[in-house]
Structure 1
Amino acid sequence: MPFEFLSRRIRIVAGLSVLAACVPTACVPAGRQPVPPARVPITVQTTTPARTPPRPVPMPVRAQPSADLLNAVQALGASFKGDAGISVRDIDEGWVVAWEGDSPRPQQSVSKFWVAIAVMDAVDRGRLSLSDPVTVTRSDLTLFHQPIRALVGKDGYRTTIGELLRGAMTRSDNTCNDVLLWRVGGPAAINRMLSEKGVAGVKFGPGERQLQARTAGLEWRPEWAGGWGFLQARAAMTYEARDKALRRYLADPIDGASANGVTLGLSLLAQGKLLSARSTASLLTLMRSSKTGPLRLKSGLRPGWTLAHKTGTGQDLGTLSTGYNDVGLLVAPDGHRYAVSVMIASTRQPIPVRMRLMGDVTRAVIAAADR
Structure 2
Amino acid sequence: MRLSDGKTFVGDETGHYTVKAVKGDALVFSYVGTVSDTIKVENERLDVKLKLYIPGEDEYVYVDSIRSLQNELTSFVENKDARIGIAVIINGKDTVSVNGSKDFPMMSVFKFPLALAVAKWVDSNGMSLNDSIAFGPKALIKDTYSPMLKKYGSGLYKMSFKELLEWSLIESDNNAADLLLKRVGGTACATTLLKDVAGELDITIGASEQNMHQDPYTSYLNRSTPLAMATLFDRFDTEIKNRSKSFSDISVMLEQCRTGLDRLAAPFIATNAIVGHKTGTGFPTPEGRISAINDCGYIHLPNGTQYTIAVFVADSAYDMTETSKIIADISEIVFKSLIGSK
TM-score, L = length of structure 1: 0.72
Q: Secondary structure at the match of 2:203?
A: coil
* Equivalent position amino acid for 1:291 in 2: R
Q: Secondary structure at the match of 2:172?
A: coil
Q: Give distance in 2, aligned partners of 1:342 and 1:276.
A: 27
Partner of 2:330: 361
Mapped pair 1:341 → 2:310: yes
Displacement of 1:297 after TM fit? 0.7
* Equivalent position amino acid for 2:97 in 1: A
Partner of 1:297: 264
After the TM superposition, which of the residue ranges 270-279 and 79-88 deviates more from structure 2?
270-279
Q: Which structure 2 residues correspond to residues 140-155 of structure 1 after superposition, within 5 A?
A: 140-142=139-141, 143-151=143-151, 155=155
**Deviation by residue 1:115-140 (Cα, 9 ceiling, x = unmatched):** 11112223333443211123343211
Partner of 2:243: 276
Partner of 1:31: 8
Query: Which sections of structure 2, spanning at least 5 residues, go unmatched?
Result: 17-28, 39-50, 56-61
Partner of 1:314: 282
Q: Give distance in 2, aligned partners of 1:175 and 1:83.
A: 29
**Deviation by residue 1:289-319 (Cα, 9 ceiling, x = unmatched):** 0110010111122512121000001111352
For the Cα contact (< 8 Å) 1:33–1:201, is it kept in 2? Answer: no
For the Cα contact (< 8 Å) 2:136–2:157, is it kept in 1? Answer: yes
Q: Which structure 2 residues correspond to residues 76-115 of structure 1 after superposition, within 5 A?
A: 76-92=76-92, 94-115=93-114
Change (3 A) 1:194 1:158: closer
Partner of 2:227: 260
**Deviation by residue 1:23-72 (Cα, 9 ceiling, x = unmatched):** x9xxxx96213367799xxxxx9559xxx9x9xxxx99487452331122
* Equivalent position amino acid for 2:293 in 1: Y
Q: Secondary structure at the match of 1:286?
A: helix
Displacement of 1:98 after TM fit? 0.8
Q: Secondary structure at the match of 2:295?
A: strand
* Equivalent position amino acid for 2:9 in 1: R
Q: Give distance in 1, aligned partners of 2:240 and 2:138.
A: 36
Q: Secondary structure at the match of 2:221?
A: coil
Partner of 1:118: 117
TM-score, L = length of structure 2: 0.77
Partner of 2:159: 159
Q: Give distance in 1, aligned partners of 2:105 and 2:325.
A: 20
Q: Give distance in 1, aligned partners of 2:153 and 2:245.
A: 35
* Equivalent position amino acid for 2:109 in 1: V
For the Cα contact (< 8 Å) 2:241–2:248, is it kept in 1? Answer: no
Q: Give distance in 1, aligned partners of 2:160 and 2:185.
A: 17
Change (3 A) 1:128 1:314: farther
Q: Secondary structure at the match of 2:228?
A: helix
Displacement of 1:157 after TM fit? 3.2
For the Cα contact (< 8 Å) 2:144–2:213, is it kept in 1? Answer: no
Percent of matched pairs sharing the same residue: 21
Change (3 A) 1:281 1:156: closer
Change (3 A) 1:46 1:316: farther
Q: Secondary structure at the match of 2:69?
A: helix
Partner of 1:181: 181
Change (3 A) 1:173 1:327: same
Q: Give distance in 2, aligned partners of 1:82 and 1:274.
A: 34
Q: Give distance in 1, aligned partners of 2:249 and 2:113.
A: 15
Q: Give distance in 2, aligned partners of 1:193 and 1:314.
A: 25
